[in-house]
């Protein structure tokens, strides 16, 4: 079946540094990918929609200059958390779907800890 | 009111029990419905889609009630391995963005 791969699965970084998370669709092309953040015991919250070849669409309250999204190809989207702070520590998950009405496949998630 | 609401639980049940979760949605234009399962510190995985006529997959039964705007998930003969968080997902017609409920935690004990 369709697979979405996310890397890294876990990262610890110092405050003020930037962290890049990759999301790849392995056996299908995804013109659109989604980035979510999940705090403990909370729901997945959509951060932004990544569009291949164009700017990402950010949800209200999400800083686009802090969470940089690049969707350079039909199989790769990256999320860069710039100048990370401890409050950015969270579980970040990407998803993509082969077609609009099919199920969404999720990456394995990235657990970011900012110290 | 949140677009998708779920009772967070936890639901604590013994093995073999039958347990049911409900999920309400506020947007009547919603057209696609899913249940996802998420294990601790893992990504969500599709458990089953929810069809208008209701559908069953082994021990799992999903129902949709459009009039009352809720979907349900019934798990029969609970197993220890069913312990997880169950996420209700709703997608509006014409939108490609799914909306997630906060999830319902299920703990099945021996």
DSSP strands (E only) in chain B = 4-6, 11-14, 19-25, 30-38, 45-50, 55-57, 60-65, 70-75, 84-92, 98-100, 104-109
Q: Answer yes or no: is pLDDT of A2 > 80.
A: no
State the Cα–Cα distance between residues B35 and B50, nearest whole angstrom: 7
Q: How confident is the model at residue A1 (pLDDT cuts 50, 70, 90)?
A: low
From the list B51, B75, B76, B74, the residue with the least C-alpha distance to B64 is B51
Q: What is the mean pLDDT of chain A?
A: 90
Q: What are the chain B neighbours of A42 within 8 Å (beta carbons)?
A: 102
Question: Please, what's the b/e burial string for A65-85 (b: 16 or more CB within 10 A of its CB; e: otherwise)?
Answer: eebbbebeeebbbbbebeebe
Q: What is the mean pLDDT of residues A47-68?
A: 91
> Which residue in B49, B96, B102 is closest to A42 by CB distance?
B102
**Tell me, what's the pLDDT at B1?**
67
Residues A30/A36, Cβ–Cβ less than 8 Å: no
CB contact under 8 A, B44 and A100: no
Distance from CA of B13 to the nearest CA of A (A): 19
Nearest chain A residue to B84 by CA: give it.
A41
Length in residues, chain A: 115
Q: What are the chain A neighbours of B32 within 8 Å (beta carbons)?
A: 101
């Amino acid at each position: 079946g369709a697979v979405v791969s996310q890397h890294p699965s876990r990262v610890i970084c110092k405050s003020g540094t930037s962290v890049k998370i990759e999301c790849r669709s392995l056996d299908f092309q995804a013109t659109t990918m989604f980035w979510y953040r999940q705090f403990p015991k909370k729901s997945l919250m959509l951060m932004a929609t990544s569009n291949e070849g164009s700017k990402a669409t950010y949800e209200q309250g999400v800083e686009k200059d802090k969470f940089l999204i690049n969707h350079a190809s039909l199989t790769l989207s990256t999320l860069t958390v710039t100048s990370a702070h401890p409050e950015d520590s969270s579980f970040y998950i990407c998803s993509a779907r082969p077609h609009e009405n099919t199920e969404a496949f999720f990456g394995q998630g990235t657990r970011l800890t900012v110290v | 009111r949140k677009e998708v609401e779920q009772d967070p639980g936890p639901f604590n049940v013994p093995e073999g029990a039958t347990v049911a979760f409900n999920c309400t949605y506020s947007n009547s234009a919603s057209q696609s419905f899913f249940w996802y399962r998420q294990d601790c510190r893992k990504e969500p995985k599709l458990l089953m889609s929810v069809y208008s006529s209701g559908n069953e997959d082994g021990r799992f039964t999903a129902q949709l009630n459009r009039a009352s705007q809720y979907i349900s998930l019934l798990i029969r003969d609970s197993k220890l391995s069913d312990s997880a968080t169950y996420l209700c997902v709703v997608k509006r017609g014409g939108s490609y963005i799914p909306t997630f409920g906060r999830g319902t935690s299920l703990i099945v004990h021996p």
